Amino acid sequence: MANELKMSHPVVSLIYMALQLAVSLGFVYLCPMLASLCGLSLVVCHWIYLAVALVLLAVAYVLFKKRYYHLHEEYLAGLKRSK
């Protein structure tokens, strides 16, 4: 991502850190609130949150790859040409 999108490595790390923080805060604060509102046990709510988070992250990953994978192929082809 950093090479293909011409982003600095610290910026990419900050994006990953913010994403991890959002997922963790949702797990810690959102799950108990939803469990009390819906009447579910906290354990069940955590499992549902895990499933939803995994699906959302997988969809985001696939969409990202579909949009930017051609840049990765161009980057690799440029490396082969420069050798």
Q: What is the 3-state secondary structure (H, E, C) of 12-46?
A: HHHHHHHHHHHHHHHHHHHHHHHHHHHCCCHHHHH
Q: What is the pLDDT of residues 1-48, one digit of tens each?
A: 677 778 888 998 999 999 999 999 999 999 999 999 999 999 999 999
* Sequence spans of domains, the chain: 9-82
Measuring CA to CA, which residue among 79, 74, 83 is closest to residue 5? Answer: 74
Measuring CA to CA, which residue among 74, 31, 69 is closest to residue 50? Answer: 31
CA–CA distances in Å: residue 39 to residues 17, 18, 29, 51? 32, 30, 16, 19
* pTM, two decimal places: 0.74
